[in-house]
Structure 1
C-alpha cells in the first residue's frame, strides 16, 4: 500500500478487525469492513468526477458517519479534506469554499449550500446511490505523511478566518500523543458529541478510537438527555467535551441517579475546566483528563493525565510526549509567565494561501506562537491564564478575564460567565461580566461584587455586571467574546 496517510487506515483496520463495529449512528451500525468498502467506492466515484491528489473536498453538515467516509475517501486520493462549520452564515461558508478552492461539496440535506458553491455538490441523500456505483477495489494512490490532509478554518474572531493546514503526519503524531496520555483500548466505546468539523472531536477522539479498533457512537449534535441515553444504551467509556457541555451534563436532574460506571475517560478541552466543576465530577468518582491545544497543533500541545487530575486541578498538564512547549516573554527568552510556544511534528506547516500569516505565526527554530498566555509552575505544569487578545489593561494593571471567570464560577448561583474589557475614560479599560444564572437561582450585582471583593484585587473586579439567558458561541462551543465586546454599552 503506497498510501501512508489517513486514507489507508480503513483498509489497515479492516484487515485486523473486519467485523468489529466502527461507527454507531442512531440504529445504524457500520463495521470496519463496511467503512473500508464504502470509502473505497466513494473514492472511486470522486476520481471519476475528476478529483486528483491535492484537490479539495469539502463537507458541510452535523455529525454523521458520512463525514468520516468522505474524509477517508478524499485521503485515499491524496486530496485535501475541508470540514466546514454548518452553523456559519452562507456568505461565510461561501468564502471558505472559494478560498479553499473546493471542487466537491458534500452536505447534509438541511444545510443548503451557498449560491456560489463547489462545481460538484452532493447532498447526503444523493451520496448514497452515488457511491454505491463506485468500484469496491481500493485505489493505490501514493500519499506521503508530509502531504496536506486537512484545511481547518479558524473561528475568525478578527478579520477573515484562516485555513490552518494539517498534514497526515500532524494527525498521526497527534494520535500517538493521545494514546500515550490516555489508555485507549480496542474495546473503547467513544461518544462523539462535539462537532466533528472541530479539530478536537475529530483528532482527539474519533481518529484514536478508529486506530485502536474501538467503536465511535456519533451524535448529530450535543444533547444532554441524549448523552445520558447513549451512555446507558451503549456503555460509553470515553467522552470529550468543553466546559459548557460538562456543566450542563452535571446540572441535569439525572446526574445524581444515573449509572455512569462505564465511563473510563472524560477529556476536557477548548478552555480550562473550572476547579469547582472538576470537583463536582470527582465527587461522582469521575476523573478528567485535561489538555491544551489549538487547531494549529492538531490539537494537543499539553496534557494532564488522569492520575494527576486531583493533585493538579486546573493545570493544563505538561507537554505531550511528541512535542516541545515553552513559555516565553516578549524577548522570546524563557519566562514564568508569557506566551505559549509549541514546536513538534504535530504543528501545522502554515496557513492555506496565506504566506504572510504563516511567517508571522512562527519564530526561529519552528516555534509556533499560540497567542495564549500561561504560567509554568515549579513542576513544569502549564496553567493557561488567558488569550493575549482577551487580556485588558485597567489602570496600568493586566487583567486576565479567565482568572476572574474562574472565581465567579465558584458562586453557587453562577452557571456560566464571560468577562470582556470595555473602554473607560478614567481607567482606560474596565471589566464587563455577562452572567448566566443557574436554574432557579438569583443573584444581584451587589452580591457578586461583594463575593469577588473577598477573593480578587479591586482592579480585577468588573465594573459592570449583566444577567443574560445565554452566551454567544463559536461553532466549537467556545464563548464568542467579540460578540460580547460588540454588545451595546451599559
Structure 2
C-alpha cells in the first residue's frame, strides 16, 4: 500500500477485525467491515466528484458514523478533512470555508439554512446533506448506495496534511491548525500508551468529534486499537448513565462540567458503574467536589494538558497521582517533551515559572495561510511556544500557573477574548472593552465583558448580547456586561485583565 496515513487504517481494521463492533450509534451496531466498506464508498464518491490529494473536504454536523467515514475516506485520497464546530455563527463558518478553500461540504440537514447563503459566497463545488435528501438533491446515504465499493490507494506520507482544525485566534480571526497524518498517528499512540487503551475497551463518546481532544485522543486511538465506540450525537446526562450500564462502558472522556452533570443527575447513585475503568478529563482542573463524588464510587481521573496545536495531548496525570499531585496536569506523554523557558528563551530550572514549550511528533507544522503566526509559534530550535505559563516540579510534573493569552475555557470550549472585544468595540457608545473569564460552578468559567461607555450612551447586558447574537457562537457571548468608569491599564496601555479577574471573581 502506498497510503501511510489515516487512509490505510480502515482497510487494515477490516483485515484484522472485520466482525468486531466498531460503533454503536442510535442503538445499531456497525462492524469494522461495514465502517471500512462505507469509507471506501465515501472515497469513491469524492473521487468521482474530482476531489484529489490536497483538496479540502469539510463536515458540519453532529457526531455520526458519517463523520468518521468522511475523515477516513478523505484520507484515502490524500484530501484534507476540515471538521467545523457546529456552535459557530454563520460569519465564523464562512471564514472557515473561505480560509480553507473547501471544495466539498457535507452537512447535516439542520444546517441547510445556515450554510445556503455561504455556499455561493465561497464557491464550494460540491455540497451534500447527510441522510436521504430528495430526488432533486440526493443526500449522502442515497449517494453512497449508488456508489460502488472498492478501496482507493493514493500515495500519502505521514508528513502530508490530514486535517485542519480551527482554533480561536488572539487577534480575532480563528486560525486553521494543520494536523499531519504523523501528528494524529502519534497522538493516538501516546493515548494508547498513557491511558492503557485495549481492544476490549468500550468508549462512550459524548463530546463533539470536531474538537481536537475527541478526535485525536478519543476516536482515533480507539479505532487504531480496534476497540468499540458508543457514539452519541450529543451529551444528555441521564442517557449517558444509561448507556454506561447498558453497554458496559469502560472509557469515558469529558470536561469537568460533563462529570459534574453526571454526578448531579438523579440516576447517578443507582447506575451500575462497575465497568468504568478509565476516566479522562481535560479543559481545566477537576474540582475537589467532583473528585470526591467519583472517588466515593471507586473512580478516579486521568487529567491532562494540551492544545489543538499538539493534536492535542501534551501531558497526562495518572489516576494514582490525582491526590498526590493535585493541581498538576501530569507528565509529558510518552513520545512528547515539555520544557519551561524564560522571557529570553533560556530553559529554567525546576520550580521556576516560565513559558511552557512542547516538542514531539504530535506537534503541528503550522497554521494555514499564516506564515508569520507559524514562525512566531516556534522557537529557533523548533519547540512550540504555547503562550501558557507553568512550572515543572522536582519530579517533572507540570503545573499551569497562568495564561499568557488570556484564553477562557468554558465547558471545554476555548474562548479567546480578542474576537469578542473587537465586536463589542463596534457598538456605538462603547469606548473600551475587556472580556474576562469568571468562575462558574457549571461551566468552570464563563465570559464577562467589562466596558467603558461614552456619556449618555445606553449600554447594558441585553444590548451587547443582542449585538453579538448571530455574529459569534452563543458560548462566546458574555453572560454579563459590567460598566466601569475606567479599565485598569499598564504603563504601555494594555488592560490589566488579572486585576479585573480578581475584582469580579467574587461577584460571579
Q: 1:430 to 1:213 in 2, by over 3 A?
A: closer
Q: 1:289 to 1:478 in 2, by over 3 A?
A: farther
Q: Partner of 1:363: helix, strand, or coil?
A: coil
Q: Deviations for 1:391-415, whole angstroms, at most 9, x for unmatched residues?
A: 9xxxxxxxxx99xx9xxxxxxxxxx
Q: 1:486 to 1:148 in 2, by over 3 A?
A: farther
Name the CA distance, whole Å, in 2 between partners of 1:355 and 1:489. 38
Q: Is the 8 A contact 2:105 2:126 kept in 1?
A: yes
Identify which of 112, 117, 121 aligns with 1:115: 117
Name the CA distance, whole Å, in 2 between partners of 1:191 and 1:155. 27
Q: 1:147 to 1:62 in 2, by over 3 A?
A: same
Which stretches in structure 2 are left out of the alignment for 5+ residues? 132-138, 422-432, 443-460, 462-467, 485-508
Identify which of 224, 228, 233 aligns with 2:246: 233
Name the CA distance, whole Å, in 1 between partners of 2:479 and 2:118. 31
- How much has 1:27 moved relative to structure 2? 2.0
Name the CA distance, whole Å, in 2 between partners of 1:216 and 1:432. 36
Q: Is the 8 A contact 2:170 2:405 kept in 1?
A: no
Q: Partner of 1:177: helix, strand, or coil?
A: helix
Which residue of the partner structure matches residue 312 of structure 2? 299
Identify which of 313, 327, 338 aligns with 1:325: 338
Q: 1:488 to 1:224 in 2, by over 3 A?
A: same
- How much has 1:208 moved relative to structure 2? 0.6
* Matched residues, number: 423
Moved over 3 A (4+): 429-438, 477-480, 483-486
Q: Deviations for 1:64-92, whole angstroms, at most 9, x for unmatched residues?
A: 11000011100000000000011111121
- How much has 1:197 moved relative to structure 2? 0.4
RMSD of equivalent CA atoms: 2.7
Counterparts of 1:147-158 in structure 2 under 5 Å? Answer: 147-156=160-169, 158=171
Which residue of the partner structure matches residue 58 of structure 1? 58
- How much has 1:137 moved relative to structure 2? 1.4
Q: Deviations for 1:220-249, whole angstroms, at most 9, x for unmatched residues?
A: 011111111111111111011011111111
Counterparts of 1:59-458 in structure 2 under 5 Å? Answer: 59-112=59-112, 113-117=115-119, 118-125=124-131, 126-156=139-169, 158-335=171-348, 336-390=352-406, 434=438, 436=440
Name the CA distance, whole Å, in 2 between partners of 1:251 and 1:283. 14
- How much has 1:9 moved relative to structure 2? 0.4
- How much has 1:487 moved relative to structure 2? 2.5
Q: 1:354 to 1:432 in 2, by over 3 A?
A: closer
Q: Deviations for 1:314-366, whole angstroms, at most 9, x for unmatched residues?
A: 21001111111111111112231111101111000000111111011111111
- How much has 1:271 moved relative to structure 2? 2.0
Q: 1:367 to 1:189 in 2, by over 3 A?
A: same
Q: Partner of 1:103: helix, strand, or coil?
A: strand
Q: 1:210 to 1:432 in 2, by over 3 A?
A: closer
Which residue of the partner structure matches residue 411 of structure 1? none
Name the CA distance, whole Å, in 2 between partners of 1:294 and 1:256. 34
TM-score after normalising by structure 1: 0.81
Which residue of the partner structure matches residue 12 of structure 2? 12
- How much has 1:157 moved relative to structure 2? 5.3
- How much has 1:135 moved relative to structure 2? 2.7
Q: 1:192 to 1:231 in 2, by over 3 A?
A: same
Q: Is the 8 A contact 1:278 1:313 kept in 2?
A: no
Q: Is the 8 A contact 2:165 2:178 kept in 1?
A: yes
Q: Is the 8 A contact 1:22 1:32 kept in 2?
A: yes
Q: 1:293 to 1:431 in 2, by over 3 A?
A: closer
Q: Is the 8 A contact 1:274 1:314 kept in 2?
A: no
Name the CA distance, whole Å, in 1 between partners of 2:335 and 2:3. 23
